[in-house]
Amino acid sequence: MKNLATLTLSMLFLFSCTNNKNNTENADAKTNESISKETEAANTEYKPAFEGQTRANYIKTKSGYDVSVVNENLGLPWAIVNLPDGKLLMTEKSGYMMIIDLQKPYELKKITGLPKVNQYNQGGLLDVILDPNFKENRTIYWTFSEPATDGSKNDQTSIAKATLSTDETKVENVKIIYRTFPSHDSGLHYGSRLVFDKDGYLYASFGERSSDEMRKYAQDLKSPLGKIIRITTDGKPASGNPFESNKEVLPEIYSLGHRSPQSLAFNDKGELWEIEHGPRGGDELNLIQPGKNYGWPLITYGIEYAGGKIANGATNNEGLEQPNYYWDPVIAPSGAEFYTGSIDEWKGSLFVGGMVKQALVRLVIEGNKVIGEEHLLLDQKDRIRDMVTGIDGHLYAVGDNGKLYRIAKK
């Protein structure tokens, strides 16, 4: 009997250990699922057009990396870009730029001489980019919400260019090279991002200004609103644009049907990727092709903020492009960067800021499809605005909490 009792106790102990191990593994799996894969209910019952168009598989970085806060007193940063000497040039939404020396990150150098911005709601000083020949000409370009001069509350998204002084304290010879139209007073959906292609042409993305009466302009080929345009460094239509021979279309238009595109990036193949805000649901990732129509507001995977359907619930239509990927619920995307830094596992990944998700989102893309998604910096609880691979190989990101983050290989 004693041996039987001992055997019984041993079996119970083994079962308990095995059961506890299984419970632990299941708990870990559930935790992993809940913090990493989209588990929130979608805003709609719309079905994706193809497998993997939304809610991609969770991925988790295996390589070691460190996150540090380089500066936490940056106000409201909107964009950052590398300078040739390894410093960062940053826009601050209220209307000024600053230079951040990463060796002395709290000794900020403020840049003056910029035109006035309309810092209302989503408006203010927005994106910034260096001329491809910056080392020779010291020219920079930026977008901003330019207030009207007619006494109204209207404004517009404008592109300016100027020379950065040699002492890096001011901009000189400021010139507005492009203005969107019509102007509007919503304070919403300005866009905007700037990128250069290998031929030295400038691409700019513009929102359609949000309100019901303005949405139509995303499909209006005589307005730049809701479009991506391609221009010269003087603001003229670039040669070879898709509509240049059509007198009924603005010759600078490169693509149309965009809602509020705040992310543009070229990958190493020279492909242009765009990410835009959807309404309630329906943030989109698109591979941009010249002359293509990306659908807004004729199709969408989102709904009105109040809950009603848009375009009677249409998610596809002939002649309109499907997003390569969409989010429902949204991440509220801002900024985009194809990573080229020192963490091998990340090379080629597309990073995008998630403002609602308060995350730095990493996407793995193969064959023009998103095959994995990861959310980083969740513990910071910050609305990530922009990111750049630094000249030192580290990834830098800025957010609405006024912080500059460095993500470095261990």
Integer Cα distance of 131 and 357 in angstroms: 32
Other CB atoms within 10 A of residue 407 CB:
23
What is the C-alpha to C-alpha distance for residues 66 and 407, in angstroms, rounded to an integer?
6
Q: Which amino acid is at 152?
A: S
What residues are paired with 280 via a beta bridge? 303
Give me the phi and psi of 14, to 5 degrees please: -65, -45
Measured over the CA atoms of residue 330, residue 343, residue 377 and residue 73, the dihedral's sign is negative
What are the tokens at 407? Answer: 């993500």
Catalytic residue among 184, 189, 258, 394: 189
Q: Is 277 part of the annotated catalytic residue set?
A: no
Sheet holding 333-338, edge to edge: 333-338, 350-354, 359-366, 369-376
User: How many Å apart are CA 65 and CA 1, to the nearest integer?
Assistant: 58
- Amino acid 107 reads E
**77-82, strands of its sheet edge to edge:** 77-82, 88-92, 96-100, 109-111
CA distance 128 to 114: 12
The residues facing 374 across adjacent strands are 362
Catalytic residues: 189
